Amino acid sequence: MPRLLKNDTVRLLEASIESLGLAQFGICTFRRDQLKIEQVRFSPEVGLIGSAIELAMSSILIQAQGKNAIYRDFKNAKYKTASEILSDFRSVLKQSSSNILFLTNGISNPVGHINEILELTNRFQLIITSRANGLHNGYGLKYELVASLFQSVTRFLRLLSKSSNLKPYLTSIPELVGIQIDKNILIDDLSSKLKMSKNISEQKAILSSLFLILPEVPKNLPEWLSKFESLKIAPKKTDVVYLIDALEKANPVILKKVNEGGNPVNVTIVGKDVPDAIPIAAQFLKSEYTQFKDQFYADIANANGRIKSNQLDLPPKSSIYKAFAFGFEDLQILAPGEEFTAHQTWPFIVEAINVAKNNTPAPYWFLIRKTKDYGQLKSILKKASKLGNPRFKL
């Protein structure tokens, strides 16, 4: 096999696989023992998972920038911290220089591939902090969280393995076969425990779990990360209060009702300001829409989401006829005096004129008259016309 990577790069990649493999063994081992302090459970595995991430990122830095890239002081053999490795790794990927061409060799969409890697690394700082707490302080995490972190590293290594240069060295990536951790967050139990707990160490553990299972971390790392790190090492009441506030302002989580019992959890639809409520993504509140108003706005959301991917997903003509016949106010789609935005009317206008040759289009001028931004409407209709068939080219 031709030499595709530096020996140092290969060594660190294989060390990453070994670390993840040992974590896999620990996670999958049946435990009968009872620990006096249950928080110790899975602390070695968390440390190994974090080490696997650091080693994999270090391998890429060495390949791109040379052996010195992982040292803070090469002469005195002082290594960079895991946080510094993560920061340098993200910086190298964002520069998009020729040094990282080996990451995208053989990939049809190099820019998309790099962005996908970058997006996944947004959560790595939380994992690195948990790793340090496991290795140096003996604190583990619940099984579900450990498995979720493990799968994040597995996904990261799989992304790397798509490169023709890296694939030969990443043929045996450890994975948790048969273990499926639902990405939807069942946050109600943790939330209720947090409200009931008066012990700061217990609050620390619950808060850490809540942050680790957030679906994503913003691309511009938020201020609460530094508080999260101090919370993991030496919790203070002020840190707990700050992080609870940050959690309420975090990205929307997904709530699913798992049974009829249990205490209800206060939530707020994103965009509304309700004290002591958890942000929730509105689209997960219902599994079906039976009311016309709900269907009308769901069709709008689907159409606008699809057009960003260069697809047309238009509402049925029956919705146009019903709105025309009964009126927006009577159907409670609009309040008296309100108007639509261009993003709300364009799907119905396009569907109205999407007819076979010599057929009569559905009514659409009543939609145009209720739209308040004609310039924006024209722009969206032009984009839609490029995606449709010639029958409704503008």
User: Per residue in 191-219, pLDDT tens?
Assistant: 556 666 666 666 656 555 555 555 444 44
In one-letter notation, the amino acid at residue 394 is: L
Look at residue 2 and tell me if it is in a domain: no
The C-alpha atoms of residue 279 and residue 266 are separated, in whole angstroms, by 9
Q: Residue 297: pLDDT above 90? A: no
Residue 125 within any structural domain of the chain: yes
How many Cα atoms sit within 13 Å of 72 on the Cβ side? 8
> Residue 138's pLDDT is what?
81
Interatomic CA distance for residues 360 and 115, integer angstroms: 46
Query: Closest by alpha carbon to 201, among 138, 258, 264, 272?
Result: 138
User: Are 344 and 239 in a shared domain?
Assistant: no
Tokens of residue 173, six digits = 């990536």
Rounded (10°) CA dihedral 78, 220, 238, 149: -70
Same domain membership, residue 66 and residue 83: yes
Domain boundary among 144, 179, 214: 179
> Do 48 and 171 fall into the same domain?
yes
Same domain, 78 and 158: yes
Based on the fold, state whether residues 186 and 175 are members of the same structural domain: no
Whether 271 is in a domain gets the answer yes
- Say whether both 75 and 217 belong to one domain: no
Out of 202-211, 214-223, 290-299, 365-374, least confident range: 214-223
Determine which of 140-154, 185-199, 347-361, 367-381 has the lowest per-residue pLDDT on average.
185-199
Number of domains observed in the structure of the chain = 3
Distance CA 289, CA 283 (A): 10
Q: Torsion angle of alpha carbons 168, 171, 174, 178, nearest 10°?
A: 150
Please identify, among 285, 308, 328, the residue that sits at the C-terminal boundary of a domain.
285
Per DSSP, what are the bridge partners of residue 328? none
Domain that holds residue 252: 182-285
Q: Give the C-alpha separation, 251 to 280, whole Å.
A: 9
Q: Mind giving me the DSSP string for 134-152?
A: HHHH-----HHHHHHHHHH
Question: Does any domain span residue 223?
Answer: yes
Same domain, yes or no: 258 and 306: no
Give the residue carrying structure tokens 């004609």.
374
Claim to verify: residue 337 and residue 207 sit in the same structural domain: no
Residue 137 lies in a domain: yes
**Cα separation values, 272 from 238, 267, 278, Å:** 26, 10, 11
Residue 106 lies in a domain: yes
Residues 93 and 20 in one domain: yes
Q: Which of 94-98, 163-167, 203-207 has the lowest mean pLDDT?
A: 203-207
Does residue 115 sit in the same domain as residue 68? yes
Any domain includes 151? yes
| Domain assignment present for 238 | yes
CA–centroid distance for 123 within its chain: 9
The tokens for 60 are 């890429």
d(CA 233, CA 85): 20
Q: What is the pLDDT of residue 206?
A: 59
Per-residue pLDDT of 29-85, as tens digits, reads 877 778 888 778 888 998 999 999 999 999 999 999 999 999 988 788 889 988 899
pTM (2 d.p.): 0.54
Q: pLDDT for 216-266, tens place per residue? A: 444 444 444 444 444 444 444 444 443 444 444 444 444 444 444 444 444
Which of the two residues, 210 and 147, has the higher pLDDT score?
147
Over range 177-198, report the average pLDDT. Answer: 57
Q: Are 138 and 213 in the same domain?
A: no
Dist. CA 295–CA 300, nearest whole Å: 9
Q: Is the dihedral of CA 193, 196, 201, 203 positive or negative?
A: positive
Q: Are residues 281 and 297 in the same domain?
A: no
> Of the residues 285, 303, 333, which one is the last residue of a structural domain?
285
